[in-house]
Structure 1
Amino acid sequence: MARRITLKEVAKTAGVSLASASYAVNRTGSLGEELRQHILRVAEELGYRQNMSARATRTGRTGTIGLVLPDLTNPFFPHLAQSVVQRARAHGYSVFVTDTEGVEDLEREALRVLAERGVDGLVWFPIRDVNTAEAETSDIPTIVVDRTLPRLESVQADYANGGRAAIRHLLDLGHRRIGIVCGPTDIASMRDRCDAAAALVRAEGELVFMVENSFSIDLDGSVTRALDQNGATAVFAGADIIALGIMRHLQAQGSVIPGDISVVGFDDIPWAQMSTPTLTTIEMPIEDMASEAVEAVIRRIEGSADLRRRVILDTALVVRGSTGPVPH
């Protein structure tokens, strides 16, 4: 078996002190960037690998962050996961990613297992606005994404403004008879976007229906009935995955999008650019949310954080092919 290269050998080959070598590989301490990169190149050339067990014993940290997501079958979440991993890697952290399948018992178990594995911090996208694992997270630096949980720092988007932007776009195109299909409204971020959208429709047009669907491309009967019977010229969906299901249903019924009816989603998942027509949507600032979450959890790991901090990032309208002028 190959002999493990020691940090002392890295320091000697690089011509630096053991302390400087430690600072470089652990991304800590006061060290010039040129010197840090020199040491890291030497470490890579020698084949140096950190002994994480020894590091954890010495520092009390494992260099790992847990990322807990509700549903990796929804393309929104792989995009978020990749962004978190990339940002954490830039800080020298590895990420354990787990999917709770939208089941609160699995969510609680995932958080417990990550805590037992000794992760230094958690980035958590809860299933709902409920802390299912308060005991498990009480002693671990934890940042919540998209949801609001008491006593936990959170990173969110401006959902209400996004909902209004979607409706303003439809109103500017001449639409007045507008329907809304929300995602699960027991989630505050969904209520925010749909309530804001509905208020603007009522103020300047006619809200012909407002129904709810799960986060799925498959539509509930109440949704298909609303689409088929109420004569809306445009529909706003609270999530892209639902909007794509709406487009599929409408096209199967013979409707032309956007010639007969326009559709707007929310999230800007990768599939939004691959549908026919491409989906007009509200872009969630996923990379910025990931960056803020990782930066925040590292601040908490290092002991400098505000428990009450709540970051709200801007959304943006992305106009594509699924919206057009109101049909005459």
Structure 2
Amino acid sequence: MGDAKRARPPTLKDLAREAGVSLTSASYAINGTGSVGPKTRAHILDVAKRIGFRLNLSAKSMKSGRSGMLALIIPDLGNPFFAALVQAVFREARAAGYQIYMTNTEGSEEIEAEALAMAVGLRVDGLIWFSIRDKDTSDGILSNTPTVVLDRTVPGYDTVSVDYLEAGRLAGQYLLERGHSRIGIVSGPLDIASMRDRCAGVVEAFRKGGEIVFNLENSFSLDLEPIVKARLIEDRPTAVFAGADIIAIGVIRFAQTQGLAVPADLSVLGFDDIDLASLTQPQLSTCEIPIEHLAGRALQTLVARIKGRDDAIQSLLVESRVIERESVARLLPLLPVEAGHAVRSDGTCQ
């Protein structure tokens, strides 16, 4: 053992010398700032990885007052939607020069409050918060931490969300245009404003013509409530709008166990466009939540706050669209005739 000395970690000067660049360029590349070109930045980062250079976040924080860290608080990593969202936020954060500390609150307001306190204690530069419900559980501890609420409505914070009311209208119009004038709605938990809005949009679209034979609530789960199963069989709508893809997949699975073919006997339209939507049999038609766009706008808004933007609280909305796959059939259109009957376009009466 004797005189052996432990090698010191490489410094920024070591990195600059090894990469053949100035100390300033090395600093710009590592910190994601300045005007270093993309090829030079990539070269410097490759050299940093090779020599084992690590940015001293504590020193950086003391010098700049910033840690280079953001916190991401989400409610349910078991839901495929949130898994995809986390990946998108991580990509956007890295592109902006930030690292992410993430906590899954598992649907618990107690864990959520603890996670928010932990993030503040870590002195993160900012926070992206996908709250469990439209409720502020922070108890005021975020007053000095730039925060963006994602996809929820919590007063007092910048928010980035989807225009869910308009998305619901588009979903309802899509079903009507394909001849589905008698549908059921299976929403997710209605204590969430975004869920209420998307379902309200469908209802609004159907006021122009059509019937909603049931409007029932279900958890974010493949497993359907007994009342939902019963009404699917008893009322026999031609289509179901599900407030989330995970519920829509549960509807498809249940329908198939009852001998119903999707979409021939029952059409199903989801909401989210999770990865599983394109892997179901049949592939799920759904309304897209543009996750990459949502994450990008959230990061842009948060970084602007971190850099000192002091204008009014913003509420930003992004647009949705219907992703047409295989789970919604196009019914034969009905043509009006005398005596209150209707004739299908193939000539048969109804």
Verify same fold: TM over 0.5: yes
Shift of 1:215: 1.1
| Cα displacement (A) at 1:225 | 2.0
Q: Which segment drifts farther, 251-260 or 38-47?
A: 38-47
Q: How many residues align?
A: 328
Instruction: Verify the 8 A CA contact 1:151 1:307 in the aligned structure 2.
Output: no
The one-letter code sitting in structure 2 at the alignment partner of 1:146 is D
Structure 1 residues 55, 178: closer, same or farther in 2, change over 3 A?
same
Residue deviations 1:236-287, cap 9 Å, x none? 0111111111111111111111111100000001111111111110011000
Q: State the alpha-carbon separation in 1 of the partners of residues 16 and 76 from structure 2.
A: 44
Q: Which residue, 168, 172, 175 being the options, matches 1:163?
A: 168
The one-letter amino acid paired with 2:90 is: V
The aligned counterpart of 1:204 is: 209
How far apart are residue 222 of structure 1 and its match?
2.2
Deviation per CA, 1:44-83, whole angstroms, max 9, x where unpaired?
4433211112212222222111111111111000000000
Amino acid at match of 2:186: V
Which residue of structure 2 lines up, in the alignment, with residue 227 of structure 1?
Answer: 232
How far apart in 1 are the matches of 2:42 and 2:236?
A: 63
Q: Distance in 2 between matches of 1:123 and 1:303?
A: 17
Determine if contact 1:178/1:201 at 8 Å carries over to the other structure.
no
Report the Cα distance in structure 2 between the residues aligned to 1:144 and 1:13, rounded to whole angstroms.
42
Q: Distance in 2 between matches of 1:92 and 1:6?
A: 19
- Measured after TM superposition, the shift of residue 23 of structure 1 is 2.4
Aligned to 2:318: 313
Closer, same or farther: CA 305–78 of 1 in aligned 2, 3 Å? farther
Q: Distance in 1 between matches of 2:90 and 2:39?
A: 25
How far did residue 15 of structure 1 move? 5.0
Is the 2:152–2:193 Cα contact (8 Å) retained in structure 1? yes
Of residues 12-21 and 196-205 in structure 1, the stretch that sits farther from structure 2 once superposed is 12-21
Letter in 1 for 2:269: V
- 250-259 vs 159-168, which deviates more? 159-168
Q: C-alpha displacement at 1:231, in angstroms? A: 2.2
Q: Does 1:6 align with 2:11?
A: yes
1:42: how far off? 4.2
CA contact (8 A) 1:146 1:154 kept: yes
Amino acid of the residue matched to residue 4 of structure 1?
A: P
Give the share of equivalent positions with the same residue, in percent. 48
Alignment-derived partner of residue 125 in structure 1:
130
Q: What one-letter code is carried by the residue in structure 2 that aligns with 1:304?
A: R
Check the 8 A contact 1:181/1:213 in 2, yes or no: yes
* CA contact 1:156–1:313 (8 Å) conserved in 2: yes
1:293 counterpart = 2:298: yes
> Does the 8 A contact of 1:237 with 1:263 survive in 2?
yes
1:115-264 to 2 correspondences below 5 Å:
115-264=120-269
Quote the residue 1:272 is aligned against: 277
Partner letter of residue 51 of structure 2?
L
Q: Which residue in the other structure is 1:54 paired with?
A: 59
For structure 2, list consecutive stretches of 5 or more residues without a partner in the other structure: 1-5, 333-343, 345-350
User: Could you tell me how far 1:326 is from its partner in structure 2?
Assistant: 3.3
Q: Does 1:72 align with 2:59?
A: no
The C-alpha deviation readout for 1:77-117, integer Å capped at 9, x for no partner, is 00000000011111221111211111111111111111112
Shifted more, 39-48 versus 114-123: the winner is 39-48
- The answer for the alignment partner of 2:340 in structure 1 is none
Q: How does 1:16-31 map to 2 (within 5 A)?
A: 16-31=21-36
| Counterparts of 1:37 and 1:274, CA distance in 2 | 36
- Which position in structure 2 is the counterpart of 1:86? 91
Residue identity matched to 1:207:
I
Query: Mean alpha-carbon deviation: is it higher for 268-277 or for 318-327?
Result: 318-327
Deviations 1:182-237 (A, max 9, x none): 11111111111101101212321011111111111111122122212112111101
In the alignment, the residues of structure 2 paired with residue 27 and residue 34 of structure 1 have an alpha-carbon distance, to the nearest angstrom, of 13
Are 1:233 and 1:326, in contact at CA under 8 Å, matched by a contact in 2?
no
Report the Cα offset of residue 121 of structure 1.
Answer: 0.9
Contact between 2:172 and 2:201, CA under 8 Å: does it hold in 1? Answer: no
Unaligned runs of 5+ in 1: none
- The answer to whether the Cα contact below 8 Å between 1:176 and 1:206 also exists between their aligned partners in 2 is yes
Bigger Cα Rg:
2
SS state of the match for residue 120, structure 2?
helix
Q: Which stretch has the larger CA shift, 41-50 or 221-230?
A: 41-50
Partner Cα separation in structure 1 for residue 279 and residue 123 of structure 2:
40
Instruction: State the alpha-carbon separation in 2 of the partners of residues 92 and 318 from structure 1.
Output: 33
Counterpart secondary structure, 2:116: helix
Name the CA distance, whole Å, in 1 between partners of 2:106 and 2:312. 28
Indicate the RMSD between aligned Cα atoms, in angstroms: 1.8
How far, CA to CA, are the matches of 2:223 and 2:311 in structure 1? Answer: 41
